[in-house]
Structure 1
Amino acid sequence: MSKKPSVVQLNNDFIKDENLKKRYEAEEIRQKNRFMAWVLIFVMLLFILPTYNLVRSYLTLQSRKAEVVQLRKDYAKLKKRTDNQQTLAKQLKNDTFVAKYARAKYYFSKDGEKVYPLPDLLPK
């Protein structure tokens, strides 16, 4: 037993006009949403570019900080080496030290002397 639907759809000019208005309103809402989507994409691009530059600058800063740390270590080593060489240069002005240094490092000796090398005798 099938029943016929009791609801009858009217197909007059008023109903057609109302349906047409609903379609226009739906299309208008779609266009607004599309516009807002483009605005959102544009705003996202405006934030992405500075963020990229900020991240790149941060990474550059970190690498430079690491380079500064390495250069300070190198400076400390070179400073220590320079100080040792300056101390040696001052000591080489003393004739007795020069004689001891030449005997220890280059095994110079006077006639009839024997030289025995001692490892801790030389300055570094």
Structure 2
Amino acid sequence: MMKRRVVIANKKIVRLNNEYTTQQLNQMQEVTHKNPKRRYLAMILIVIILVMMLPTINLIKSYQVLQSRRTLKIKSEKQSAQLDRQLAIKKANVDKLQDPTFIEKYARAKYLYSKDGEKVFPISELSDGGVTDKK
């Protein structure tokens, strides 16, 4: 058998060149070769996590926009209902003002208009003459 000498850190280490030592050396080399693969695997895992974070962030932002639009929709529906009520009141007032007898009553109540010989007594409840702003 042939002996090989390896000097490490000022120490003399002798390695025997037989079948057992070569098997052990091969196993050690396999283990050392597996480590770089694990490093790459960890880097790939980190990259995958970062790539998956981007759609998650976009999903969260989209959800927040959706929630804000839902609240805006609710506010606009309430405002629309209120405007519909006001429109109905205005239409009712227009219909009332097309009647000549109502116009006469309105002028008497609002502007204290009277015919000859009539006495007008103002009543605070009828000061608007029957035209309503609220229902």
What is the TM-score with the length of structure 1 in the denominator?
A: 0.75
Which one of the candidate residues 104, 117, 122 is aligned to 1:116?
122
Q: Which structure is higher in RCO with an 8 Å CA cutoff and minimum separation 6?
A: 2
Identity, in percent, stands at 28
Show structure 1 runs of 5+ residues with no match. Answer: 1-9
1:13-24 to 2 correspondence within 5 Å? 13-14=16-17, 20-24=25-29
Cα RMSD of the aligned pairs, angstroms, is: 2.5
1:58, distance to aligned residue in structure 2 (A)? 1.1
Structure 2 CA distance for aligned equivalents of residues 71 and 95 of structure 1:
38
1:4-19 to 2 correspondence within 5 Å? 11-14=14-17
Structure 2 CA distance for aligned equivalents of residues 57 and 29 of structure 1:
43
1:22-41 to 2 correspondence within 5 Å? 22-41=27-46
1:1-124 to 2 correspondence within 5 Å? 11-14=14-17, 20-104=25-109, 106-110=110-114, 112-119=118-125, 122=130, 123-124=132-133
Q: Size of the alignment, in residue pairs?
A: 114
Amino acid at match of 1:13: L
1:44-90 C-alpha deviation (Å, 9 max, x unpaired): 12211111111111111111111111100000000000010011011
Higher strand share: 2
1:114, distance to aligned residue in structure 2 (A)? 2.2
What is the TM-score with the length of structure 2 in the denominator?
A: 0.70
Amino acid at match of 1:31: P
Of the structure 1 ranges 95-104 and 39-48, higher mean CA displacement relative to structure 2 is found in 95-104
Show structure 2 runs of 5+ residues with no match. Answer: 1-12
SS of match in other structure, 1:12: strand
